[in-house]
Structures are given as C-alpha cells and as structure tokens.
Amino acid sequence: MATVEEGLRAQLRNIETATGHSIDEWVSRIHATGLSRHGQIVAWLKTEHGLTHGAANRLALTALAADAPSPSADPVAELYGGRSADLRAIHERLWSEVERLGAVDVAPKKGYLSLRRRTQFGMIRPAAKHVDLGLVLPGEPVTDRLESAATFNALFTHRVRIRSVGDVDDELVGWLRRAWDRAE
C-alpha cells in the first residue's frame, strides 16, 4: 500500500509528464505571477494553462509550501512559546498519556498537534488559559466535561478543556484511549 507521501510524489511526476514542465518550472511560473492565494493560483493555472483542477491544486499547494517558513525543529516549543509554564506542564502530562497509547503519528499543524493512528483521532491545542483536547468519539454522550466539538472544530466530535495537570485523570485517559482504539 502506497503512503500519502508516495501518492503525492506520483501526482507531481504525472504533472511533469503530462505538461512537459518540471515542478520547479511551475513553481517559478507561479511565483512570477505575484499571486499568493491558493484559489487565485488554481484559477490561473486552470484558465491560462488548461490544467485539471487536481493538477492545479497540487501545484498551488506545492508553490505555497515552497514559500512557507521551514517547520520548527520543535513544534511543541513553537506552540507553547510565550505561553504560561502551566500550559506547558498540562501538555507534558497529557503527552505522557498519549505516549502510553502505543503508535501515534503526530502532525504539527498551525496552532495544534494532530494525533493519528490509521486515521486522525485527536488533537492538542493550547488556548489562553487551558489546553484543548479534541477527540473523535462518535456515539459518545456529551457531558459537562466531554463537550460537543460542534462549535470548536468540525473534524472532532468532542472537546475537553484541560485547565490543570490534575484534569489529566483516569476519565480523560479513558476517552483518549477509546478514540485511539477507534482509529485502528
């Protein structure tokens, strides 16, 4: 089974083959337009060069990624930089439980860490005075503590606001474990 990265590389090779231009050439062309928004770049590639939506989308994402600053060597430090030591302590306590689950892939995103197994099952995001734990727990009842994530993030079913290290208790660890188990 191919990985996501292998699939993306294959898509880029196919674009090069179909268009006769290297990805570096396409990125240079895109940069030369001065366009900086994904939708504008996609529209330009489709209109001016007749590319399919999929090829235009991949090239736009590739060009924009080339402009992005390189990811931090320590995404956790980046997330908690300038925040209180209490929030970092909550994160460390929560992270110790994540590590005990077993295999977890962590994907740093803008403002949070995505937690994946076979599929995404959770996320950790620092807020002003607490750490949010988003979980994918379909069918799990909502409680005062295990809130609905409807207004938080549509990728998750539930949200837990962790306000202290002590909030990382057996109940929270149970929810985390169930979300991890379901992502098998």
How many residues belong to the chain? 184
Which residue reads 């009842």 in tokens? Answer: 141
Q: What are phi and psi of 68, to 5 degrees?
A: -75, 150
Q: Does this model's pTM top 0.85? A: no
Per-residue model confidence as pLDDT tens for the chain (184 residues): 456 677 788 888 999 999 999 998 998 899 888 888 999 999 999 999 999 999 998 999 888 887 665 555 678 888 888 899 999 999 999 999 999 999 999 988 888 999 999 899 999 999 999 999 999 999 999 999 999 999 988 899 999 999 999 999 999 999 999 999 999 8
Residues 6+ apart with CB under 8 A from 16: 22, 23
Mapped onto helix, strand or coil, the DSSP state of residue 64 is helix
